[in-house]
Chain A
């Protein structure tokens, strides 16, 4: 009996060593945030006693999950905090803003047809003033541009047919960003995969992974969308195709959070879901894929490990892959959070914290002085480009530029 009595309840393993607090970027930037130890395992006991013990300061959690990476006892600290927010957080003071920021694919669908106008209008000072004052979106923030032609439209018109010429295929979860804002990334993915000898299939149905929905408290909707993706990914996997992505946050969300936070079944696809860089690295390592790189390619790059990339623990695949490209001069930056945390940094009330958290990273980037920063996370890209003026590329885009 005593042998069996080992706690399975994850938060009870906490020994209060405070390593999580040490690595928490928000705690360092904001004295109002109680830190992961308190917000997670400590307060969880009291939340179980009475939901009145929900601490409103949990809203400051970035969801960077660095606490989970640090925890020597395997406590899923950020999950505890995220689940508590979903269960107990009071209604947002900016419900419309949060819904618009969280519904990336719905807003993308609306914005794409009007991309030239939207892209012109959003940066205008009076518009920003209105967004800031009435809407709670900070006026300092630069919006990502919308593309006039969605990736999926382009793919159907220009690339789909050619993919059938390949013997082997991968399935691609492009995500909202590559579809609505920056189709070039998805086009780059197709180019690289084709160069590696693989054709690209899109999923039967793809919805936004829901990472922003969960962060903004839209649990039901996140669950609905997750179920669509789970079914689509399961179908692709049953056809023998891996599901590849180019966004670290989408990957963490679907590979891990669908199960751990939303409690949905992930067995059907989890082991076949991978970031394109990891998959490529493994294929190259095993000799199944050979990429030919241009001899004249020269680029000075700095690699930024996005927080969710760190949680996945896959950054080394990308780093090694980039090092395979002749002509790349690569600096690996210290693992510091950029501070944007998806939609968090867009919100007026959090903007100052967002910038304070990111300041260490921005300084590192400026010091390393690269032509471009490389990272898998699109929101890190917005934050770094806005805050340092240095362009940010997805590693797949670097590969696309470097392959012959």
Chain B
């Protein structure tokens, strides 16, 4: 992806420069590229580094918002159906449940189901006794259950697929480059000044789109535009395996830790919702109090979570646009700001708010606005054209075992991996990542380090948190990048990052794992 072909050409004039390579930016880049706009996507870290990669991985059916935000709910169910079609390889059709506990009563359920139906969400009331039998891990005290078409989605994969398709349609992607300022011509934004390891560079575009999540506010200030944003932090826990194959929500007014999602081979429980100051948006450490709260609430959904190994804790920041409020009552609706109209700053657009589920729609709205400004008539095709990897279903069972996980992750793109010779060697045992998949990811996605690599293939994201695969992976990465001297640095950096997620949950088997890790890598002279 960041291979030579996608790097921006010097002095190229762009129609649109997109700042922020999360899911919204990647979807916008794809939409623009599909409509023939000359597009540049800029990201300060790796794609999906911010809130896009720090959430539940939940493809909402919209049910969660049916009562409080009917419009958001309608958007969700529409996008839910579109993504199941165009991103079949990123989405797992797990289905979702909304369970009612005795203290919740059934009053909310009746209204909830009606509101779901009004929004077009096929919500179905189930017999709680049947649910208890079929999903024995669910809290056996339930008095009601509703099924909805929630699903599990891999945000890394979805972002990658969008960016890949953008590149294939002519877009450029510049990663690890931070926008420092805007280039202005009179009052008009005509480009961006970008700092990367190669120094400072300038890129010019007719329109600039800010899709930088919570960081858009700070960037906009540099253009003289004020966006009132409310950083709302959400913490989540990763449990070691799938406790249930279905998304489980609480059927009540949305609150803390009331969703558990089966993501790949793990279960993710979340979230909290706390207002945080802007200067803490880059500090994603999870506190013991957050862990305690998540666990306390999580066991109400699935009691066995109380005895399930927690691999790590992480947090993300929702980019809510607000004029006040406590974070959860603020609408999570899509906010598209045309700064020419709103602030008299032509050439600048901000797209924010919204959800992972509605990112494609956000991109469509943004691109529609861009096209009207650029005077281009082109129809949006992102809802109809399948994403790379999802063009046709891959029957995993037809492959040899070593390629199953890779094909599951990359879908039809998996054909580009070379499993011959050492390619079939297993590098990450927990997530079943082979050398072939690693080499493919390094080449296709232009990774710099192991943290980048894991977003594309889940390396080190399993039970042992990299304890066993990190050295093997570092060796391959260093070899592929042609800088063997960096291998140790790769290991150190990666383990530091894993360690950050493990510290809030250091007890039981995770503590044993951490001690094992510390004994192995704690000394400066460990063998590489």
Q: Which residues of A contact B (CB under 8 A)?
A: 1-9, 11-17, 34, 37-38, 41-46, 48-50, 52-53, 55-57, 73
Contacts and interface: CB of A to CB of B under 8 A. Distances in A.
Contacts of A2: 288, 291-292, 295, 507
A9 B241 contact: yes
A48 B463 contact: no
B262 A5 contact: no
A14 B463 CA distance: 9
Nearest to B310: A5
Nearest to B401: A55
A16 B508 contact: no
A184 to B, nearest CB: 46
A121 to B, nearest CB: 41
Given A1-B296, A45-B462, A49-B262, A9 B309 contact: yes
Q: Which 4 A-B pairs have the closest CB atoms?
A: A8-B307, A7-B309, A12-B309, A6-B508
B464 interface: yes
A333 B426 CA distance: 36
Given A5-B306, A9-B241, A52 B507 contact: no
Nearest to A3: B507
A8 B404 CA distance: 29
B126 interface: no
B454 to A, nearest CB: 16
Contact of B509 (A3, A12, A50): A12
Given A4-B307, A53-B404, A73-B509, 5 more contacts: A5-B507, A9-B241, A9-B304, A16-B429, A46-B405
Interface of B: 240-242, 262, 264-266, 288, 291-292, 295-296, 304-310, 396-397, 401, 404-405, 408, 426, 429-430, 432, 462-464, 467-468, 507-509, 512-513, 516
A15 B514 CA distance: 10
B507 A44 contact: no
A57 B401 contact: yes
A15 B309 contact: no
Contact of A1 (B241, B262, B295): B295
A41 B265 CA distance: 12
A27 to B, nearest CB: 14
B463 A12 contact: yes
Contacts of B304: 8-9
A305 B388 CA distance: 56
Given A37-B429, A38-B429, A6 B307 contact: yes
A6 B507 contact: yes
B296 A45 contact: no
A52 B309 contact: no
B430 A5 contact: no
10 contacts: A2-B292, A5-B507, A6-B307, A9-B307, A12-B241, A13-B509, A15-B464, A16-B463, A45-B240, A49-B242
Contacts of A6: 307, 507-509
A48 B292 contact: no
Nearest to B408: A50
A50 B401 CA distance: 13
A4 B408 CA distance: 35
Contact of B429 (A12, A42, A57): A42
A3 B508 CA distance: 9
Given A7-B307, A16-B467, A53-B404, A45 B512 contact: no
Contact of A7 (B240, B296, B396): B240
A41 B408 CA distance: 20
A16 B462 CA distance: 12
Contact of B404 (A12, A14, A52, A57): A52
A56 B402 CA distance: 12
Given A13-B509, A37-B429, A5 B295 contact: yes
A49 B508 contact: no
A56 B400 CA distance: 9
Contacts of B309: 7, 9, 12
Contacts of A17: 516
Given A16-B464, A44-B241, A56-B401, A7 B508 contact: yes
Given A2-B292, A2-B507, A12 B308 contact: yes
Contacts of A45: 240-242, 265-266, 430, 462-463
A34 B424 CA distance: 13
B504 to A, nearest CB: 10
A15 B265 contact: no
B244 to A, nearest CB: 10
Contact of B265 (A4, A46, A73): A46
A1 B307 CA distance: 10
Contacts of A16: 429, 463-464, 467-468
A43 B429 CA distance: 9
B139 to A, nearest CB: 16
Contacts of A56: 401
Question: Which residue, of A4, A11, A16, A52, has the highest number of chain B Cβ atoms within 10 A?
Answer: A16
Contact of A9 (B266, B308, B426, B430): B308
Question: Which residue, of B288, B292, B309, B426, has the highest number of chain A Cβ atoms within 10 A?
Answer: B309
A231 B192 CA distance: 80
A55 B307 CA distance: 28
B308 A7 contact: yes
B507 to A, nearest CB: 6
B401 A49 contact: no
B393 to A, nearest CB: 12
A2 B308 CA distance: 11
B502 to A, nearest CB: 14
B265 A48 contact: yes
A46 B240 CA distance: 11
Contacts of A46: 265, 404-405, 432
Given A7-B240, A48-B265, A15 B401 contact: no
Contacts of A38: 426, 429
A4 B307 CA distance: 7
A401 B241 CA distance: 55
Nearest to A58: B401
Nearest to B264: A49
